[in-house]
Structure 1
Amino acid sequence: MAKYVIACIDNNIEVLDSLYNKISRIVDSDYIVESYISTEQALIGCYNYIIAGNEILITILGNDNSKMNCDKFIIELYKNSPNTRNILFDDIVTIDSLSKIINNASVYQIIPRKFDTVDFELIILEAIKQNAQDRRLRDYQRVLESAVEKRTRELNDINVKLELLATTDALTGVNNRRSFYESSSPMVNYARRENKKLAVLMIDIDKFKMINDVFGHAAGDEVIRQMAQKARETLRKSDIFGRLGGEEFAAVLPNTSERGALKAAENIRSEIENLEIETLKDEIIRFTVSIGVTMLHYDDPSLEIVLHRADLALYDAKRQGRNKVCLSKDDLNEDN
């Protein structure tokens, strides 16, 4: 168990004996009263006690013939024991030393060397009492800071979860409509401003209503989940993919040529076509998707215009029999 050290420093042995006797009568075994004839010796002794896990509670400084002045001792000790209460005899204090201590450490009391003029024991007891109060306050502050830190972590976790809920589609785990638009719009603006190639895909599950009618809504939800997962795996990490609603999804592919966009769309279509989903009734569901592809044009004013053009291409794919990838007619016309 840690002890509380009271260090008495004076080159007069009689003074040290008097200090030891007075203090020993009023403290119990939790306290260690040490005597030193020099500040240099005392500083080493105090450091050893601190290293051992003890607390320097009080120092009492008197006459000292060492090269280390009382102000230097207190300032050095303060660096490792800032809560120590330093008591000085008035006959060793100068204005210069006192100003150094006040500016760089602390003084508890300055007392006369004649003990009969002051209630020395009461001064020591009051210092012990104040130290105990400060210690309880520090312990409470640590508990409070720990509780605040824990609560802050909890709030951060909640905020992260709320942000995920606000930006993630609950069924599929991909970007929801809001998050898709918030992520894609700056990308589209940047690509248009920097004259970079950018492609947009609109993806829709073919005959999804029939899947729900035949296999049930739970199976329909699983189809949407599997489709989203497969598409996300097929796309690049730099691509933005999200669920716009129902069975409809969209993807923004930055730094992608028309040929690269068509290849990416075809990869998704092919992967989905080869998917098999087993229902709880051991039924196998196979399904397909239709995909509309368009490129960003230099005069496109917004993401909505590009998505609309991709949506028209998607309906062309539906009209052509589904399970197809179609490039927007506007992009075909641009090539011509």
Structure 2
Amino acid sequence: MNYKDLVERALEPICVINSENTIIYANPAFIELTGYSSDAIMNMDFSLLLPADVASKHKELIQRFILSGNSESSVLGKMRRLQLVLKSGDLIPIELKAFEMTEDPDLGRVFAGVFRDLRESEKNQLEYNRLLYDLDKLGFIDPISQLPNEKFLFTRLEETLSNSRNNRESIYSIINLDEMEQINNKYGREAGDLVVRKIATEFQYGIRLKDYLGRLENGNLACLFPSTSLSDVIHLLDNIRSLISRKKGFIDQDPNMKVTVSIGCSRILFPAKTIDSYVQEAEKALKRAKSEGKNKLLVFGFY
């Protein structure tokens, strides 16, 4: 299988444009996302897929970058959130990461974009905001992060243990910002709290509506995955962990600084143990992940 086969089969929408902003390649996922046929999408001006106020700026950015002769770009290689115009005329929220490909002797300079459809994530976020409103009235919200607090998480964990007789495993995880102490010392606790909120947003976009994300009293984040297999949780959390490690912009005072997270997980199986047992297991896995170099996910009993 060559690289083109991989791109053709990729679940992520991908397209390639030339220096004139013309689409010269689109994989099946991108074609399906836009609603156009493969014939219609080929040789289309990419600007037609962007809102009018963004389209002109996009074309201008490409031309300015090419004429500058610089290898650095304010856009390329960075994750951006914007809207895409579908064939139906609907605007949908997407995340885009663009990069320049190796120059083609026949095509000149070409640029590729990898897209992520955010419609489901934003729908989940809306439901999550409604949940936060209800929790705030019940005293279940952490005032600093505006996330569900430890009291709420442990209440949900207790419910999960009570329901563990259905013999389906659940997963409890603790998430730690590896650079927290460094950020607090250099920029202050308010800056550290803001980074935690931004990290939490990444997890909110990545987890499902039935999962529970919150902040513990020690400042760590925690997430409970009821009736979910370990393999599914590892896949989900590791994708978010990897995404965070590649992004910039978490720290306002140093936009280019990258941050990472370490994650420790505990499996909840029947017959259930105590809440403290699962919390301690996740803490031990987290401690092990940090001692092994940070920016990794470990599961208690699997290392």
TM-score, normalised by the number of residues in structure 1: 0.47
Tell me which structure has the larger Cα radius of gyration: 1
Determine whether 1:305 maps to 2:277.
yes
Aligned residues of 2:245 and 2:259 also touching (Cα < 8 A): yes
C-alpha distance in structure 2 between counterparts of 1:328 and 1:215, whole Å? 33
Aligned to 2:147: 174
Determine whether 1:193 maps to 2:193.
no
Q: Deviations over 1:162-205 (max 9, x none)?
A: 84371111222221011111122112220x22111211111111
Aligned to 1:202: 174
Aligned to 2:198: 226
Aligned residues of 1:198 and 1:295 also touching (Cα < 8 A): yes
Aligned to 1:238: 210
Aligned residues of 1:203 and 1:250 also touching (Cα < 8 A): yes
Describe the SS at the equivalent of 2:264.
strand
What amino acid does structure 2 have at the position aligned with 1:324? K
Aligned Cα RMSD in Å? 2.2
Describe the SS at the equivalent of 1:294.
strand
Aligned residues of 1:239 and 1:253 also touching (Cα < 8 A): yes
Aligned residues of 1:197 and 1:256 also touching (Cα < 8 A): yes
C-alpha distance in structure 2 between counterparts of 1:165 and 1:278, whole Å? 30
C-alpha distance in structure 1 between counterparts of 2:249 and 2:277, whole Å? 35
**1:72-221 → structure 2 map (5 Å cutoff):** 163-164=136-137, 166-190=139-163, 192-221=164-193
**1:23-62 → structure 2 map (5 Å cutoff):** none
Describe the SS at the equivalent of 1:252.
strand
Identity among equivalent pairs (%): 26
C-alpha distance in structure 2 between counterparts of 1:229 and 1:201, whole Å? 16
Describe the SS at the equivalent of 2:139.
helix
C-alpha distance in structure 1 between counterparts of 2:181 and 2:210, whole Å? 32
Q: CA 1:303 to 1:268, structure 2 compared with 1: closer, same or farther past 3 Å?
A: farther
How far 1:271 sits from its partner (Å)? 2.5
Aligned to 1:14: none
Unaligned runs of 5+ in 2: 1-132
Aligned residues of 1:201 and 1:310 also touching (Cα < 8 A): yes
Aligned length: 171
How far 1:256 sits from its partner (Å)? 1.3
Q: CA 1:233 to 1:179, structure 2 compared with 1: closer, same or farther past 3 Å?
A: same
Aligned to 1:259: 231
**1:306-325 → structure 2 map (5 Å cutoff):** 306-325=278-297
Aligned residues of 2:165 and 2:271 also touching (Cα < 8 A): no
Q: CA 1:218 to 1:251, structure 2 compared with 1: closer, same or farther past 3 Å?
A: same
Describe the SS at the equivalent of 2:228.
coil
C-alpha distance in structure 1 between counterparts of 2:300 and 2:152, whole Å? 25
Q: CA 1:165 to 1:277, structure 2 compared with 1: closer, same or farther past 3 Å?
A: farther
TM-score, normalised by the number of residues in structure 2: 0.52
What amino acid does structure 2 have at the position aligned with 1:175? P
Aligned residues of 2:142 and 2:149 also touching (Cα < 8 A): yes
C-alpha distance in structure 2 between counterparts of 1:310 and 1:280, whole Å? 31
**1:269-308 → structure 2 map (5 Å cutoff):** 269-277=241-249, 279=251, 281=253, 283-308=255-280
What amino acid does structure 1 have at the position aligned with 2:157? S
Describe the SS at the equivalent of 2:214.
strand
Q: CA 1:185 to 1:210, structure 2 compared with 1: closer, same or farther past 3 Å?
A: same
Aligned residues of 1:293 and 1:327 also touching (Cα < 8 A): yes
How far 1:161 sits from its partner (Å)? 7.5
C-alpha distance in structure 2 between counterparts of 1:165 and 1:283, whole Å? 36
Aligned residues of 2:135 and 2:141 also touching (Cα < 8 A): no
Aligned residues of 2:171 and 2:233 also touching (Cα < 8 A): yes
Q: CA 1:229 to 1:280, structure 2 compared with 1: closer, same or farther past 3 Å?
A: closer
Describe the SS at the equivalent of 2:247.
coil
C-alpha distance in structure 2 between counterparts of 1:297 and 1:258, whole Å? 11
Q: CA 1:257 to 1:226, structure 2 compared with 1: closer, same or farther past 3 Å?
A: same
How far 1:290 sits from its partner (Å)? 0.3
Greater length-normalized contact order (CA 8 Å, ≥ 6 residues apart):
2
How far 1:218 sits from its partner (Å)? 2.5
Describe the SS at the equivalent of 1:250.
strand
How far 1:280 sits from its partner (Å)? 5.1
What amino acid does structure 2 have at the position aligned with 1:166? G
Tell me which stretches of 4 or more aligned residues in structure 1 moved more than 3 Å: 160-165, 278-285
Describe the SS at the equivalent of 2:168.
coil
C-alpha distance in structure 2 between counterparts of 1:274 and 1:245, whole Å? 28
Unaligned runs of 5+ in 1: 1-159
How far 1:250 sits from its partner (Å)? 1.2
Describe the SS at the equivalent of 2:234.
helix
Q: CA 1:317 to 1:211, structure 2 compared with 1: closer, same or farther past 3 Å?
A: same
